């Protein structure tokens, strides 16, 4: 079973910045694990670096958690 689905807060929950950071960290960790499993640790490191670089370069933060994806 997908662990991320189990850990998502209810849709009506008030989330603060720390909650969003925790969710983003979990999603990046899940992404890193999946890429490692499919393509190896070296490719996972490159992919995570690309993900973080894209995050730094965006002009605004996503308005919702679905936009993070």
pLDDT tens digits, 14-42: 667 778 788 888 988 999 999 999 999 99
Most confident residue range from 5-14, 18-27, 41-50: 41-50
Which two three-digit tokens encode residue 53? 């670089």
Do 47 and 30 touch, CB atoms closer than 8 A? no
Round to whole Å and give the CA distance between 32 and 43.
9
């Amino acid at each position: 079973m997908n662990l991320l689905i189990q850990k998502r807060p209810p849709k009506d929950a008030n989330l603060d910045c720390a909650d969003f950071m925790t969710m983003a960290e979990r999603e990046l960790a899940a992404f890193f694990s999946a890429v490692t499993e499919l393509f190896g640790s070296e490719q996972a490191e490159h992919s995570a670096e690309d993900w973080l670089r894209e995050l730094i370069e965006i002009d605004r933060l996503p308005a919702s958690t679905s936009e993070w994806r």
